[in-house]
Amino acid sequence: MFNFQQAASALGEVIGTLAFMAAIVALLEGVLYLVLVRWRHVRLALPLMLVAPAALGLIVFYIYPLLWELNVSFTKMSLRNFVIPGFLGLGEGKDNLFVGLQNYVNVFTGTVLKETTFWQLLLQTVIWTVVNVTLHVTGGIGLALLLNRHIHGRNIYRALLILPWAIPSLISLQIWRTEYNQQFGAVNQILGLFGIGAVPWLSDRFWNFVAMIITNVWLGIPFMMVITLGGLQSISREYYEAAEIDGANGRQAFRSITLPLLRPVLIPAILLGTFLTFNNIAVPFFINQNQLETSDILVTGLYRAAFQFSRYGFAAAFAFTIFAVLLIFTIFYIRRTNALKGAYE
Amino acid sequence: MTAIAQPAATSTRRSLASRIIGRPTRNQDRPLTRVVVHLVLIVASVIAVFPVIRVVGVALRPGDRLLDPNFSLIPPGATLDAFRHVLFDTALLQWLFNSLVITMGTATVGLIFAATSAYAFSRYKFRGRGLGLTILFATQMIPGIMLLVPIFLLAVQFGLVSTYRGLVMAYSVTAIPFSVWILKGYYDTVPIDLEEAARIDGCTEFEAFRKVLLPLSLPALMIVFLFNFLAAWGEFFTANVLIGSREDLLTWALGIQRFQAQFQTQWADLAAASIMISIPVVVLFVWSSKFLVSGLTLGGVKG
């Protein structure tokens, strides 16, 4: 039932927090105005003042926590040693949490979870990311090409095909999870119609991973479809008309006109899609319900290490190792594709 | 294309342009191709919609037939009991209210911060601009859980656990980078001449932004608001870590996990709640999907 008193206190707390943030921003802008405009007469005062609130937010909620986490990664902080560590956790006697690079060594040599190693999680994450992104992109481009034709009911198809993206993913994940039930779930019942026996989607390590991929492909195709559709609509018809005069056939035109002109749209979208897939914790977490360790990818392993096993120091080191993996990939990808060329202009 | 340049053959054969990028003046597909295209789209649509149909069917089932292998939208003996039960006997409305307040607040704040700083990144070359863009990009790469570990530990240290204070601030800030990225891309496509004309007419720098550029960027602003809204609306992990232990503060994302505790008896409740949570969001999303295409991709297309 609805409790008005609780609702009022929730509303008050949120408004109070927003007012607090507004006050901080007003203070910041006031100081910047006095310093930049009144005192130093800086010519580009406006952009600095516009960026300042966001910059402060990012410093407080990204940069400071990450530096703090880096510090924690050199300590043995955990639920048993729940001391907020100072610099490198150095301290006297029992308060001395400093363990040097031991956590990083443990990430690579020991087990990250109960029995799963870092290398196994890495392999699973790579398979997970490559399979998902490949299917997202091919499925998205395929559907976008079909939707971009002159067909009846285009808008209806588009609205229906966008649904997996529109439904809150927490909801659709709950639905998928129940549909994978070996006995009562719809997936096995439909497979049964084709004479295929019940698949143990939730209990078998291989099939559970397949179930995660099926679900995430279902979730991710609409995003790529919408992006591709936008890209297709920006391609001028004149290119194709010119190609036709030159005698090109459909496949040649697709390879030499459509794909190259989709590149500026697709390259950043694929990079973003890779981040979203690599960092996707919700799908493995909810499809697997934290049961099979073999279905974990790196980020769900990190969640367990931090919030289930409460090994904070180890989890921090693990987090920076994961970040390094992603960073190496990103630098390689950007070098190869020049993905961010337009953004810095 | 003039009449002379157009060879007679194209009137009977489909032009290359319409075959690949579509949108010809009339449908030139052969009947067989047309059937295949529709068939593929229908199959894809059914797969996309199937879980939704299932969930409606389950929500309407009477309590004793929850596990029937029945795929019909309106099952035999359909009843609204589950909806009634969820609305009046559980705290769903409370959870939805909590989610709505948090989401509206943080999406608005995130949009304001992002809209202003994206303007600076799009129109000015100031010191630290390149660094700022790199940091904004890098934040997209950071796994959310990597950030959640220190945020949780710091929130414990500063007493921000089990209140909305930490959550609201965290949501507002984490919405900024992606929003700035999208908005900067969109601002870049709006010619600067309009703002310069406004400056000549006596506007200040900030007025040129507020009165000229902002109204022109409405599609992108709406998309960014929608994205911020959806991100906070369906967020689970941060909320779970920061307020998961306080029953009266739960958002719907945390609350519906309570239905799962005894999954078989509460499957209809979960389905009914899912429908009520999803309908407003889906309507909003599908309605704005025509802005979605332009708002998301314009920034990338210009290159």
pLDDT single digits (tens) B22-54: 544 445 567 888 888 999 999 999 999 988 888
Specify the pLDDT at position A140. Answer: 94
Among the three residues A14, A45, A72, which one is the final residue of a domain in this structure?
A72
Query: Does residue B97 share a domain with residue B157?
Result: yes
**How does DSSP assign A93-136, residue by residue?**
GGG--B-TTHHHHHHHHSBSSSS-BHHHHHHHHHHHHHHHHHHH
pLDDT above 90 as % of chain A: 38
Average pLDDT, rounded, for chain A: 87
**In one letter, which amino acid is A289?**
Q
Q: What is the pLDDT of residue B297?
A: 59
**If you measure CA to CA, which chain B residue comes closest to A277?**
B143
- Nearest CA to CA, how far is B162 from chain A (Å)? 12
A171 and A304 share a domain? yes
Residue B5: what pLDDT?
41
pLDDT digits (tens, 9 = 90+) for B236-274: 999 999 987 788 889 999 988 877 655 455 778 888 888
Q: Please check whether residues B167 and B70 belong to one and the same domain.
A: no
Q: Say which residue, B296 or A128, is predicted with more confidence.
A: A128
So what's the pLDDT on residue B12? Answer: 42
User: Which among B79, B109, B142 is the end of a domain?
Assistant: B79
Looking at the structure, tell me whether residues B91 and B107 fall in a common domain. yes
Average pLDDT estimate for A236-260: 84
pLDDT over threshold 50, residue B81: yes
Q: Out of B22, B45, B260, name the one closest to residue A149 (CB).
A: B22
Assess contact for A136 and A220: CB atoms under 8 A.
yes
Judge: A47–B120 Cβ closer than 8 Å, yes or no.
yes
pLDDT tier at A337 (50, 70, 90 boundaries)?
Answer: confident
| H or E element at residue B285 | helix B263-287
The alpha carbon of B191 is separated from its chain's Cα centroid by a whole number of angstroms, namely 27
Assigned domain for B64 exists? yes
How many domains in chain A?
2
pLDDT above 70 (res B294): no
Pair A23, A159 in one domain: no
Burial of A184 (0-12, 13-18, 19+ CB in 10 A): middle
Report if residue A327 sits inside a domain: no
CATH number at residue B216: 1.10.3720.10
Chain B neighbors of A312, CB-CB under 8 A: 149, 153
Q: Which of B79, B104, B138 is a domain's end point?
A: B79
Q: Do residues B105 and B242 share a domain?
A: yes
- In three-state form (DSSP H/G/I as H, E/B as E, the rest C), the secondary structure along A133-153 is HHHHHHHHHHHHHHHCCCCCC
> B140 and B235, same structural domain?
yes
User: In 3-state terms, what secondary structure has residue A345?
Assistant: coil
A117 backbone dihedrals φ, ψ, rounded to 5°: -95, 165
Average pLDDT value for residue range A135-139 = 95
With respect to residue B252, please indicate whether it lies within any of the assigned structural domains.
yes
For chain B, the first-to-last Cα distance in angstroms comes to 27
| Contact across the interface for A323 and B121, Cβ inside 8 Å | no
Confidence grade of residue A166 (pLDDT, cut at 50, 70, 90): confident
Q: Is residue A323 part of a domain?
A: no
pLDDT confidence bin for B118, thresholds 50/70/90: very high
Residue B197 domain-assigned (yes or no): yes
Per-residue model confidence (pLDDT) at position B4? 39
Are the CB atoms for A275 and A298 separated by under 8 Å?
no
User: Best residue in B1, B29, B72, B149 to probe A by mutation, most A CBs within 10 Å?
Assistant: B149
Give the predicted TM-score (pTM) of the model: 0.85
Q: Is residue B15 part of a domain?
A: no
Same domain, A28 and A168: no
Instruction: Sort out which chain B residues have CB atoms less than 8 A from A8's CB and list them.
Output: none
State the average pLDDT for chain B: 81
B18, part of any domain: no
Mutate to test the interface with A, among B23, B146, B188, B250 (most CBs of A within 10 A): B146
The CA–CA distances, whole Å, from B267 to A287, B25, B63, B264, B292 equal 16, 49, 9, 6, 34
**So what's the pLDDT on residue A55?**
93
Residue A258 belongs to some domain of the structure:
yes
Q: How far is B90 from chain A (nearest CA, A)?
A: 6
Residues of the domain holding A155: 110-310
Asked if A146 lies within 8 A of B123 by C-beta distance, the reply is: no
pLDDT greater at residue B256 or residue A320: A320
Q: What is the pLDDT of residue A343?
A: 65
The CATH code of the domain that includes A224 is 1.10.3720.10
Render pLDDT for A38-87 as a digit per residue (tens, 0 to 9): 888 888 888 999 999 999 999 999 999 999 999 989 988 887 777 777 77
Say yes or no to pLDDT of B175 above 50: yes
Measure A115 CA to nearest chain B CA, in Å: 21
Q: Indicate the number of domains in chain B.
A: 2
Q: 3-state DSSP call for residue A52?
A: helix
Q: List CB contacts of A11: < 8 A, sequence separation 6 or more.
A: B101
- Residue B201, min C-alpha distance to chain A (Å): 19
Q: What is the pLDDT of residue B103?
A: 93
In the predicted model, is pLDDT for residue A291 greater than 90?
no
Examine the pLDDT at B3 and tell me if it is beyond 50.
no
What are the C-alpha distances in Å from A174 to residues A19, A320, B56, B260? 36, 31, 14, 9
Same-domain pairing of A31 and A126: no
Same-domain check for residues B114 and B228: yes
The reply to whether B22 falls in a domain is no
- What residue numbers bound the domain in which B39 lies? 29-79
Q: Which residues of A touch B50 (CB under 8 A)?
A: 186
* Rounded distance between C-alpha atoms, residue A74 and residue A263, angstroms: 42
pLDDT of B195 higher than 70: yes
d(CA B225, CA A113): 38
B13 is a domain residue: no
Residue A267 resides in a domain? yes
* Segment A182-189 mean pLDDT: 82
Residue B136 in contact with residue A51, Cβ under 8 Å?
A: no
Quick one: pLDDT at residue B23?
A: 47
Is residue B121 domain-resident? yes
* Helix pair angle (A4-32, B92-123), 10° resolution: 10
CB burial class (10 A; 0-12, 13-18, 19+) of residue A152? exposed
| One domain, residues A121 and A46 | no
Note whether B36 and B179 are same-domain residues.
no
Kindly give the residue spans of alpha helices, DSSP state H, lying in chain A: 4-32, 45-58, 64-72, 102-109, 118-147, 154-166, 169-179, 186-193, 205-233, 237-245, 250-253, 259-278, 282-288, 298-303, 312-337
* Cβ–Cβ below 8 Å for B114 and A342: no
- Helix or strand run (H / E) with residue B135: helix B129-141
Mutation site, A73, A97, A178, interface B, largest B CB count within 10 A: A178
For residues A183 and A136, membership in a common domain is answered with yes
In a domain, A319, yes or no: no
Question: In whole angstroms, what is the distance from residue A125 CA to residue A294 CA?
Answer: 11
pLDDT at A67: 93
Check residue B78 and give its pLDDT. Answer: 75
CA atoms within 13 A on the CB side of B125: 2
Predicted pLDDT at B119: 93
Q: B105 and B61 in one domain?
A: no
Identity of the residue in B20, B121, B256 whose CB atom sits nearest the CB atom of A254 = B20
Q: Are the C-beta atoms of residues A230 and A265 closer than 8 Å to each other?
A: yes
DSSP state of A332: H
Distance between CA B70 and CA B61 in Å, rounded? Answer: 10
Range of weakest confidence among B9-23, B87-101, B286-300: B9-23
Whether residue A325 contacts residue A122, with contact meaning beta carbons closer than 8 Å, is answered with yes
User: Any idea of the CA torsion for B122, B128, B130, B132, to the nearest 10 degrees?
Assistant: -80
Q: Is the pLDDT of residue B2 over 60?
A: no
Burial class (CB in 10 A: 0-12, 13-18, 19+), A340: middle
Over residues B281-295, the mean pLDDT reads 76
Same structural domain for residues B46 and B125?
no
A140 and A56 share a domain?
no
Say whether both A234 and A297 belong to one domain. yes
- The answer to whether B107 and B175 have CB atoms below 8 angstroms apart is yes
Note the pLDDT of residue B71: 65
Chain B: residue whose CA lies nearest to A68: B150
What pLDDT does residue B70 have?
Answer: 62
Q: For position B106, what pLDDT does the model report?
A: 93
Of A123-137, A190-204, B13-27, B50-64, give the range with the top mean pLDDT: A123-137
- Cβ distance of B113 and A57 shorter than 8 Å: yes
CA A217/CA A198 separation, integer angstroms: 22
Query: Considering only alpha carbons, which residue of chain A is nearest residue B89?
Result: A1
- Indicate the range of A177-181, A254-258, A290-294, B299-303 predicted with least confidence: B299-303
Shared domain check, A253 and A205: yes
Same domain, B121 and B204: yes
Residue of B226, B184, B185 whose CA lies nearest to A230: B185
